[in-house]
Structure 1
């Protein structure tokens, strides 16, 4: 995927498994770039840009999964929490043996239920057939956020979750490196590489470290690109 800003000399090419860092030192330009990317404004943004997949132009909203606040990861967004139940349902349907085990377990649960019903005088039945998605929803099945884990561990869990949910969008983070040590960044990059995710980091602080798994465009205080 390629991002082309009208005012930039160089374009940004985001590849699977290889994070791209856009490091903008000028605070005013950084604010404009972040506003345009986070709002998915495209050509209508303060810093106008277009997004391309080869020769096909993409809508920014379809290209990015935006994480503007890294301390509040979007676990429940449509691309993630909204897909969990359907993906598990599909996996169950694909595995004949597992599907049969679910059905046997449900019949056993029905037997226990009707042992209770037989103690009553009326007639009772289930109005809805058993369904894995309804079961998961009823019992609040969701990703384990690792709330008490260190930040880098929660971040790794989030990337694992994105991979499980088959996220095809580019993960767009703002100032993520602020919360990470050099070793943390290395762990993050290795996970992105392992899952072949697409990631764009927009950063304001200068990072003089070099990473094997990273592409980078630096724009300094005087708008010079390197």
Structure 2
């Protein structure tokens, strides 16, 4: 029964209540030296992606040229300022996610999305490998119309690549942030931020998966 519960999306009325006070994080990215929170410099855009455990996912994006800042957090659910323990119950509705702040003059949305598609398995609903639950679902949450268009177009392209190699249907949730649960991104606890930089031997199940986007 626990496994069934963890892979079923909680409804707003059944979600944990949460709290009004946000979880505290340090001001700056320990790798990039940039702020974790806005306001951002002029011209920056923000994208949110969920691709399983946020530890390895965050590292993928902070290594890309043109990415200004990244952060681990929770999005797409109903619980205010959830904790990691609460999110792991699947009773908040959130997915573990990475906030990506980037300069579109230096890195294209298509490049970011190619890294997203290639470095996890988007065909396994509510799981990545041995990590099972709605908090591990594959998701893209956008902040501009251009991002949403690119997310849908790259999904269709990658689906063709996957199908040609015998893989199944993409299950990735794609939506604007405004349509993602309560429309809020909540920062994860400070120890989760840039976790694999702080803990180089830490758990990571990310890397090139299955099929190239190009």
Q: Which bin holds the TM-score, normalised by the shorter protein?
A: under 0.3
TM-score (norm. length: structure 2): 0.22
Larger fraction in helix:
1
Of the two structures, which has the highest relative contact order with CA contacts closer than 8 Å and spacing of 6 or more?
1
Larger Rg: 1
